[in-house]
Structure 1
């Protein structure tokens, strides 16, 4: 732990003189390099203050400053006893409130952080993301069997590691990492705002495991769903999934589309222009392939159900279509990105970025996969086509054998003598 430094000094601010020539006395407190100032009730003439600091003149000013030092020492003792982080901001607050104040609890920390990010809800922060922040605070307390009135200053790395172990035992790697990252952000906020003297999550390492291969549907797998006739609910889910494969829209974004959002471009393509629910980035989704047929089937009013139910039905669809990749809705977005990046002639990355609603085109590495056929075609164009060697016919093989036997006979070699190499 780093050594804590502490210092108190007093000045008389001459620039704040009143009509009587008196200036306020300012107490400056420095804790671990952080400075804060408190204007004290007492006022004095600047020259009298300077004399008092040299041990001359009126003792009243000296005694007053000494009294303030004792008051600071008393509050410091209370703060240490109550396990309140020693920061300049906390010390100033305690002095102005005439005491060390109440213990800073998890309820205080979580409540303060959530109230700040709640203002972003529906703007640059989705409702689902906000709800996950709320959920991670509750799960953290449940995992450690602690209540909201538990002092936030007493949370240490062991609490975080215990939470991590609990999540990993119940959730998949990606979801576990998501909740851990959020609780880590909250404790970092507490430390950086001076509420906590240290960040208990500083040493927490979030292992995202082995990076999974990008899962997307090939043209052949996509055609299985396109050409299959489903009944009732499965057909509706399949249609929405296909629309996402054709446009690249996430479940949240395709769910937000209203009938009036669909427009037709000058060259005849159906498109929708909005901002992404998750990031607030503007996108221009182009509905390609069989989109028009699907949209007209529902009169442009999409039959959306919950994400959870949609994924349940997609697993049924995957089984029916003999797709072994574990079909889920987000795979449609990966499929769309892969179809766009593999299209020939090539579509510029900037265009794909705009369609997908990415902040930059680096997301291509995460979302899109390169088809084998694309690799073969690109190499063929770059280095020329390689023609396969024609198969050797049996008649030609027999002719070669006859030629070898004739050659051996000419040299006087019989089959019993072996060949020339021997």
Structure 2
């Protein structure tokens, strides 16, 4: 590996010192970056030649002194050669450490990812949700697979990450792992977060993803219409499990609760609100933001249906919520039985609350954002963008007003 490497011996007079006997230092320079250290010897200023970096004279003591510096120079060049042959990173500091026999601490890519995930796992419930951790754990598996595929190794020095590494990793995600553009972008965003942490910790000197453009395409968020909600509500199922899943899904449609929030919902979360009716007061599992939602009559009917349910009584919950995997599996079955072609999932209920139940019925977006527990109203505005029906209804009033001009 070719590097712009140079070596210089020089003398340095300490401040406020008039003595002519001064210490000799060595400066190693690689690509403009310097590393300096003392040689352990002193020299008379009158005998020092700054051009040659040696003492002037033919006395035996001068020859011994210059031979000592020659030997140091040879050792430093040998350290540079050893680094080159081992394909290690060559910097002024790494050459100095190699020469002095100092073991420089090397941090690796997988070390950074795993340390981040371990710290996040310790903070579950205290700033992070389990779903966030799972996404970073998947990222950990993707990074390991990429290193094995591209570099035939299970780990590598984190300082070797550069722009080509990032480009190749994105290509790997989209080809080998069959990730969509948005999914690959999310993994890159999460990986960038880890790299910035290592930068702050001094593991790397610069952020290899600085200025890297991550493209996210807008995604249309599906939701159920009033007609589809009515079909679900009126459908009679032959099994209790499907009826329960349907009820829980409808309850989420009427309250905007995510799966993780409805799964832990207890009677203590149901309280009398400012208007004298029942409200749900809870902190969102994902963000910890407080959410307050007035219960609609249909939602109260669903809660009453399960007040004597054995599972709810034993677990202290208001609804018999099964695992998210089973919920989504049963919802697919329910969609087929109801003739709904949309891909039902526990999260589509939250979208339905934001659109069909609230925004389409004139509820101000600020109130919707508050009920959903969003930390930023811009997140809520994503739902408002898809409501062509609401735009049509709003413009109908304007059309009527300006009809007199015709």
TM-score, normalisation: structure 2: 0.70
Cα 1:347–1:158 change in 2 (3 A) is: closer
Unpaired stretches in structure 1, ≥5 consecutive residues: 388-422
User: Residue 85 of structure 1 aligns to a residue in which SS?
Assistant: coil
- CA–CA distance in 2 between the matches of 1:223 and 1:379? 27
Instruction: Quote the residue 1:167 is aligned against.
Output: 177
- Please report how far the alpha carbon of residue 316 of structure 1 lies from its aligned counterpart in structure 2 after TM superposition: 0.9
Q: 1:382 aligned to 2:398?
A: yes
Q: Secondary structure at the residue paired with 2:241? A: helix
Deviation track 1:30-64 (CA, whole Å, cap 9, x = no partner) reads: 54454555x547265xx847964635578577665
Q: TM-score, normalised by structure 1?
A: 0.68
Task: Select the residue among 147, 151, 154 that pairs with 1:148.
Answer: 154
The CA deviation string for residues 156-210 of structure 1, in whole angstroms up to 9 with x for no partner, is 5657634531112xx55554554455567667888996669995x89998776x6
Partners in 2 of 1:51 and 1:113 — Cα distance?
Answer: 55
Which secondary structure state, in structure 1, belongs to the residue aligned with residue 321 of structure 2? coil
| 2:300 corresponds to | 292
Deviation at 1:330, TM superposition (A): 1.9
Does 2:316 align with 1:307? Answer: no
Q: Answer yes or no: is the 8 Å Cα contact 1:13–1:25 preserved in 2.
A: no
Q: Secondary structure at the match of 1:324?
A: coil
Preserved CA contact (<8 Å) 1:31 1:88 = yes
User: In the alignment, is residue 137 of structure 1 matched against residue 153 of structure 2?
Assistant: no
Displacement of 1:374: 1.9
1:216 and 2:233 aligned: no
Q: Distance in 2 between matches of 1:124 and 1:5?
A: 47
Which residue does 2:313 correspond to in 1? none
Residue matched to 1:359 = 375
Between the aligned partners of 2:304 and 2:283, the Cα distance in structure 1 is 21
Distance in structure 2 (CA, Å) of the matches to 1:263 and 1:96: 70
Equivalences for 1:40-79 in 2 at 5 Å?
Answer: 40=38, 42=40, 44=42, 48=44, 52=48, 54=50, 55=54, 59=62, 67-79=71-83
Q: Which runs of 5+ in 2 are unaligned?
A: 308-316
Distance 1:50 1:324 in 2: 92
Aligned to 2:283: 274
8 A contact 1:118–1:130 mirrored in 2: no
* C-alpha distance 370-134 of structure 1, shift in aligned 2 (>3 A): closer
- CA contact under 8 A between 1:136 and 1:182: conserved in structure 2? no
SS in 2 for 1:316: helix
CA deviations 1:252-274 (Å, max 9, x no partner) are: 34334454344443223422332
Q: Tell me which structure has the larger Cα radius of gyration.
A: 1
- For 2:45 and 2:94, locate their aligned partners in 1 and report how far apart those are by CA, in whole Å: 28
Q: 1:120 to 1:56 in 2, by over 3 A?
A: same
Match of 1:83 in 2: 87
Alignment length, in residue pairs? 370
Distance in 1 (CA, whole Å) between partners of 2:20 and 2:321 is 75
Mapped pair 1:338 → 2:355: yes
**Aligned twin of 1:394:** none
Deviations along 1:68-109, one digit per CA (max 9) or x if unpaired, are 44433322222222222234554455445447x79x79xx32
In the alignment, which residue of structure 1 is the partner of 2:255? Answer: 247
**Aligned equivalents of 1:305 and 1:238: distance in 2?**
12
Measured against aligned partners, the alpha-carbon deviations of 1:293-316 in whole angstroms (never above 9, x if no partner) come to 333444444323222221111111
Identify which of 235, 240, 245 aligns with 1:237. 245
| 8 Å CA contact 1:191, 1:198 repeated in 2 | yes
2:134 paired with 1:118: no
| Distance of aligned partners of 1:26 and 1:375 in 2 relative to their CA distance in 1, 3 Å threshold | same
Q: Which residue of 2 aligns with 1:417?
A: none
SS of 1:320 mapped into structure 2? helix
